[in-house]
Structure 1
Amino acid sequence: MLWALWLDEDHRAVKMHLEFSIHKGAPLQVQVTNANESEIAKLESVLTPGKLYCLDAAYAKYKFLEKIIRKSSSSVVRLRDNASYETIKEHTLTQADREAGVEFDRTIWLGSKQKREDISKPIRIIQIHYYDERVLSGYYKRKSRVSSKKTFRTRSAEQTILIATDRMDLPAEIIGLIYRYRWQIELFFRWFKCILGCQHLLAQSQNGITIQVYCALIANLLIRLWAGRKPTKRTFEMICLYFQGWATLDELIAHIEKLKSDNQK
């Protein structure tokens, strides 16, 4: 795919820029580009007022966070551990905050002296001590590896994360809970590739791949509206069998009705 630039002349890749509603558990909009397209620039082009954007550390660019504020929206974003800031006020933690693992809650000026003007007002940072009960109990072993973005992922069951937000009205425990739910985005992408069968491209043009992505998302939303839950791998198989002529419409409807009844139990 000559249009899908990535790394060098011998490599091609496609990137899907997807806005996902954690509250609704559903995608809101999607754009398909070559892999070299900036994720921050794409999100900046679709920023809208009245939203709370939950972002990982890759989006923690101070000028970008300021643009979210200027759009009359807010953000909850993970900062890198070496983030520079100046403390303005230390907030008292509640019992609920401590039980959620919050170690401190501060109002700060974010950035070094050179970056201080990138954000126009003070924000909050919250440090949370997190531990994975599955690892501590021995039920699950976390693998240590280096990701494609060259960020190290530790084997340790415990870690400390630093979260920044311009929302001064929410309790620290709620800010931590919002960021915790960001993992639903990763689960959606895993489900999208594994269940909806989007590991293989049916076209090589940008328009063709965009159509494939939208068809998969539309199918997901229609089944979710019908059954009240996202499709399972079995649901995807039944749809494929129906279009191939190996399953009847009655069998497909019976399967989706079963999903609906299971969801109501």
Structure 2
Amino acid sequence: MYSGPLVFSQVMDHLPLHTFRRCVARYQGERYVKQFRCLDQYLAMAFAQLTYRESLRDIEACLRAQQSKLYHMGLRCTRVARNTLSKANERRDWRIYADFAHALIRIARPLYADEDLGLSLDNTVYALDATTIDLCLSLFPWALFPATKSAAKLHTLLDLRGNIPTFVHISDGKLHDVNVLDILLPEPGAFYIMDRGYVDFRRLFTLHTAGAFFVIRAKSNTKYRRRYSQPVDKSGGVRCDQTIVLTGVDSASTYPQPLRRVKYHDTPSGKTFNFLTNNFAIPAQTLADLYRYRWQVELFFKWIKQHLRIKSFFGTSENALKSQIWIALSVYVLVAIIKKRLEIRADLYTILQILSLTLFERTPLIQLLTNDPHITEAPGIPNQLNLFDNLTGQ
């Protein structure tokens, strides 16, 4: 019979704990802490994410039922009280878990760098969008949106190779989506796919001067003048491919360079789209296909809202909310890392469902997630004599 570590411990073994300790030291996360360390807090919150716990009382009850296994899970405390966990979420700097999540992202991205997008394009492709998380006004008065209710916004830059979030900014609901472009550090040569909400030609020109490319839907009131048109094959949906200059009162001065306008008709939906980009090299059809991949970020938001604990929160302060979201995202990235490292074919949803029911079992993780017939018996101790063999030899 296999007597190795718990499944939870095997999952957490993929964490770079030396990096975690540096993040804790950077923000003095364990100053005046005697028992409940930051790692204990992270493991308890990760347990809540993997097992779909609904409240602090729920976490406390489940961990108390498995109190004899807390040490084997990596928790150095004898029990996890909901009051202790609540205070830790409220007081310990959320930037500890934000920095740690970014460290996991840096590990995950090279693992998915060779993912095929289905396009003849070697550039990195990002999708930028935001989603709103509705909150209760009486519990979260600090997150007004706009004045009569509360909400938090999750601004996310998603690497479409592997659907790994590379940039996340959590704000209250009042922050407009386009303002995130002021925080974003453009990557030269990368493509940024955005919806009409990000049309701000001053900020788009900043992307252009940084050497990055953007693909964005044009607003209906965008004023421009056509310089010349390229011949197009209209059998594929592309209706025109033009080089234009902006003629609006503000846009002409904030974006003085020519732009490329591609008009595309989507036959299945019957809709016509006008795309603007600063890239004049890729084919017009590839440009339209790139924008179609922007929907991956919408699917990402839908997925994490359904399968991570980021809609019901264990604390009401801004620090507690951000800590929970960053830990949830780090768990998502951790599972993505395990999927690649162990070469698991199952999708992330299936992996999370399996883990949610087996965290306290002592089964090899690779066997659990792949159903491979691995050896489940614990290896014998080589220097241990067999009593019955010795009796037989006498």
TM-score, with normalisation over the residues of structure 2? Answer: 0.54
Aligned twin of 2:255: 119
SS state of the match for residue 226, structure 1? helix
Shift of 1:25: 1.8
Matched, 1:75 2:246: no
Closer, same or farther in 2 for the Cα pair 1:203/1:249, shift >3 Å? farther
Closer, same or farther in 2 for the Cα pair 1:197/1:252, shift >3 Å? farther
The one-letter amino acid of 2:370's match is E
Matched, 1:130 2:266: yes
Identity %: 23
Q: For 1:257, which of 354, 363, 370 is the aligned residue? A: 370
User: Does the Cα contact within 8 Å between 1:227 and 1:257 map onto a contact in 2?
Assistant: no
Equivalenced residues, count? 227
Shift of 1:168: 0.8
User: Does the Cα contact within 8 Å between 1:227 and 1:256 map onto a contact in 2?
Assistant: no
Equivalences for residues 74-223 of structure 1 within 5 A = 74-93=213-232, 95=233, 98-132=234-268, 157-223=269-335
SS state of the match for residue 332, structure 2? helix
| Separation in 2, partners of 1:32, 1:65 | 22
Aligned twin of 2:13: none
Shift of 1:250: 1.8
Structure 1, gaps ≥5 residues long: 133-156, 260-265
| Separation in 2, partners of 1:258, 1:215 | 29
Shift of 1:33: 1.1
| Separation in 2, partners of 1:231, 1:220 | 8
| Separation in 2, partners of 1:131, 1:201 | 43
User: Does the Cα contact within 8 Å between 2:155 and 2:170 map onto a contact in 1?
Assistant: yes
Shift of 1:178: 0.7
Of residues 121-130 and 63-72 in structure 1, the stretch that sits farther from structure 2 once superposed is 63-72
Closer, same or farther in 2 for the Cα pair 1:108/1:227, shift >3 Å? same
Aligned twin of 2:146: 7
Closer, same or farther in 2 for the Cα pair 1:42/1:115, shift >3 Å? closer
Matched, 1:231 2:367: no
Which structure dedicates a bigger proportion of its chain to helix? 2
The one-letter amino acid of 1:69's match is H
Residues 63-119 of structure 1 show CA distances to partners (whole Å, capped at 9, x for unaligned) of: 2211211222121001123322100010111x4xx3431000000012425531121
The one-letter amino acid of 1:117's match is S
User: Does the Cα contact within 8 Å between 1:109 and 1:121 map onto a contact in 2?
Assistant: yes
Which structure dedicates a bigger proportion of its chain to strand? 1
Matched, 1:36 2:153: no
Shift of 1:230: 4.6
Aligned twin of 1:52: 191
Aligned twin of 1:263: none
Residues 36-55 of structure 1 show CA distances to partners (whole Å, capped at 9, x for unaligned) of: 11322222212323122110
User: Does the Cα contact within 8 Å between 2:181 and 2:203 map onto a contact in 1?
Assistant: no
User: Does the Cα contact within 8 Å between 1:20 and 1:28 map onto a contact in 2?
Assistant: yes
The one-letter amino acid of 2:352's match is F
| Separation in 1, partners of 2:371, 2:248 | 57
Larger relative contact order (C-alpha < 8 A, sep ≥ 6)? Answer: 2
Residues 113-148 of structure 1 show CA distances to partners (whole Å, capped at 9, x for unaligned) of: 55311212001000000132xxxxxxxxxxxxxxxx
User: Does the Cα contact within 8 Å between 1:196 and 1:236 map onto a contact in 2?
Assistant: no
The one-letter amino acid of 1:236's match is L
| Separation in 2, partners of 1:210, 1:239 | 24
Aligned twin of 1:154: none
Structure 2, gaps ≥5 residues long: 1-139, 341-345, 373-394
